[in-house]
Structure 1
């Protein structure tokens, strides 16, 4: 049972920090590459300013709903829809994912300092008919990032739209052109950036921002990804409509597209009924007591 939740957390962790889309673009597009002998790329001031404005708007978000789909290194295909608020941190996500031989659906809720995971009938069969498993976020956070559960807890307050700030560090940032996303006219920007460049770009940021973004960088590193190809679609109000992240690792490709839906609208997340919930702490205590 624990194994099942760990596998779900592996995929959900990436979804929680990179986030969503129902209309994911094809993963077959080649990533831009740099070739010896090419002339130095020059980022125009207008393009840099437009991407910076969009990134700043994303930092201001208080809540959002998004969809996510794509591939996760070692985790196969994933698809999810989530709503989250930043203050206080809360999220409700329904996610399906896994390898071809092993797929499953899980619902995750983060609320009031606890994480709840619902594995459906399979989970209930091993928990006296209770389909929800409760994890204490504070306790998981003390466990470090080795356990996917702990990693997910560390991303509980992460705004997925903030991923767009990484694009500002791209040395080959360019404006691809105008494109329509869900009936909305947007401007498509793209660029490539290394994890090292992203970390260097944190200089000058406040301590809270550094800590928040560093979590995401460490997650990429744990997946074996050291460089990213980023695409962002921005509407006329400087709001990000879609964001795509691609990378490679020895565990397989990373290719996730995020589509942002409702922004700054009320989000309410409720804890599951206690009668349907098994508390992991209590379960582990009973196990150690032999009960």
Structure 2
């Protein structure tokens, strides 16, 4: 009986960790900046320019708030480096899950660390971090599909900013200040079918990046998104919002960008505080 309860608790702990991975690396956009206003462009051209500029971002820091399927209301703040190597640090709170709703995620040298709270320590013999070596994942690990956990963790979050370019109805809403920065607000709606259709004329690298973003929404059961983008005077995205109806509840996320191309350093947790997730899954009978 005690073993069964312990396995159940560890299973919930692992599940919460993977939910955090999905949130950390999906549904986020590009950067921010301040400067003189660019020449007036059409709404579609302005959105396309901001999406293009996201390719040059080497690091960013952002704040995320809103509601996601199953997890409910969330708040998070993260830093991510894309070049020369990928690294990420995120602190996230699921507001509807009480004292154990906070989690921290770090990605260092292709190793993901999930944890940093007392609830996890209680279920892992006092160790407060779970470790997942993504470089060791096989093709069928954690659901297959070419290592979805690893793929999400290492994906440049700027990729989602390009999804609004697939909308046929992009329009300007007006000018607004976001965190003290003057921006122009745009809105449009997209379906996953039209997004895929819009990739036909893109190069291979662009198609692959955007396809990964589309797959994330498919897994949530979302087939249509209302998307808002706030673009600053340097043609970068200052804020991004996406809304849609998913299979297991509403999706409504707002991402505000605090800075970009600033140094990002992420350290692995102390080894003494870390439990190997692969070993935990072996104990549970997983592969």
TM-score, structure 1 as length reference: 0.83
- Residue deviations 1:235-288, cap 9 Å, x none? 100111000000012311100000011100110111111111112234455777
With over 3 angstroms needed to count, the CA separation of the structure-2 counterparts of 1:79 and 1:287, relative to structure 1, is closer
CA contact (8 A) 2:67 2:250 kept: yes
Describe the superposition over 1:23-63 as per-residue Cα deviations: whole angstroms up to 9, x where unpaired: xxxxxxxxxxxxxxxxxxxxx97222111111111121110
Give the Cα separation in 2 of the matches to 1:196 and 1:45: 27
Unaligned runs of at least 5 residues, structure 1: 21-43
Contact 1:193 1:229 in 2 (8 A): yes
1:46-100 deviations in whole A, cap 9, x for unaligned? 2221111111111211100001011111221111110001121111001111645
In the alignment, which residue of structure 2 is the partner of 1:3?
12
Structure 1 pair 220/141, CA: closer, same or farther in 2 (3 Å)?
farther
- Name stretches of at least 5 consecutive residues in structure 2 with no aligned partner: 1-9, 30-39
Matched, 1:171 2:168: yes
1:53-92 alignment, distance < 5 Å: 53-87=49-83, 88-92=85-89
Runs of 4+ in 1 over 6 A off after TM superposition: none
The change in CA–CA distance for 1:101 and 1:129 in structure 2 (over 3 A counts) is closer
| Mapped contact 2:226–2:243 kept (Cα < 8 A) | yes
Cα distance between partner residues in 2 of 1:151 and 1:231 = 27
Most deviating of 279-288 and 172-181: 279-288
Query: 1:19 is paired with a residue of what secondary structure?
Result: coil
Q: Mapping of 1:45-124 within 5 angstroms?
A: 46-87=42-83, 88-97=85-94, 99=96, 104-124=101-121
Q: How far did residue 211 of structure 1 move? A: 2.0
Kindly tell me: are residues 287 and 192 of structure 1, through their superposed partners in 2, closer, same or farther at Cα, counting changes over 3 Å?
closer
SS at match of 1:215: helix
Aligned equivalent of 2:5: none
8 Å Cα contact 1:124/1:131 also seen in 2? yes
Shift of 1:191: 0.3
Q: Structure 1's 147 and 107: CA in aligned 2 closer, same or farther, altered over 3 A? A: farther
What is the DSSP-based 3-state SS (H/G/I as helix, E as strand, rest coil) of the residue aligned with 1:96? strand
TM-score (norm 2): 0.84
Q: Residues 141 and 19 of structure 1: is their aligned pair in 2 closer, same or farther, counting only changes over 3 Å?
A: farther
Alignment of 1:1-291 (within 5 A): 1-19=10-28, 46-87=42-83, 88-97=85-94, 99=96, 104-140=101-137, 142-143=139-140, 146=143, 151-284=148-281
Structure 1 residues 179-188 or 8-17, which shifts more? 8-17
* Inter-CA distance 12–136: structure 2 relative to 1 (3 Å threshold): closer
Count of residues paired in the alignment: 264
Distance in 2 (alpha carbons) for counterparts of 1:126 and 1:287? 13
